[in-house]
Amino acid sequence: MTAYILCFALFSVGLYCIARKRNIIKIIIGIGIMEYAVNLFFVLLGYKKEGRSPIFAADQAIKNMVDPLPQAFVLTSIVLGLSLTLMLVAVAIRIYEKYGTFDITKINRLKG
């Protein structure tokens, strides 16, 4: 249970970072933290203490296995997170070229 609560704490740290930080690179890092928290929570759901890898064979007793499905989900989710981070960093570099700053409060031509 403690592990789950710590996951939610990590999630909140990421959310705080996105909401409160002014530097867009820090915002991107916040997004990374938040994604990692969700991925960690997901993979912990399938974890069992002293569990073993789920290999099915005729002579294997089926007991105490780790759930492999969340691991497959999380791998996919990590790939999505990678592409998203790349996209955000690419946009951040372009923003720096155009605005000359990473400060989100100074990037505000869209007001109105």
Interface positions with other proteins (CB under 8 A): 1, 4, 11, 14-15, 18, 24, 27, 31, 34-35, 38, 41-42, 45-48, 51, 54, 56, 62-70, 73, 76-77, 80, 83-84, 87-88, 91-92, 94-95, 98-99, 107-110, 112
Exposure string (b/e) for 75-104, b if CB count within 10 Å is 16 or more? eebeeebeeeeeebeeebeeeeeeeeebee
In angstroms, give the least distance from the CB of 80 to other proteins: 5
What tokens does 5 get? 């609560």
In angstroms, give the least distance from the CB of 95 to other proteins: 5
Using the minimum distance from each CB to other proteins, give the nearer residue, 59 or 98: 98
> What sign for the dihedral angle of Cα 15, 20, 26, 28?
positive
In angstroms, give the least distance from the CB of 59 to other proteins: 14
3-state DSSP assignment of residue 52: strand
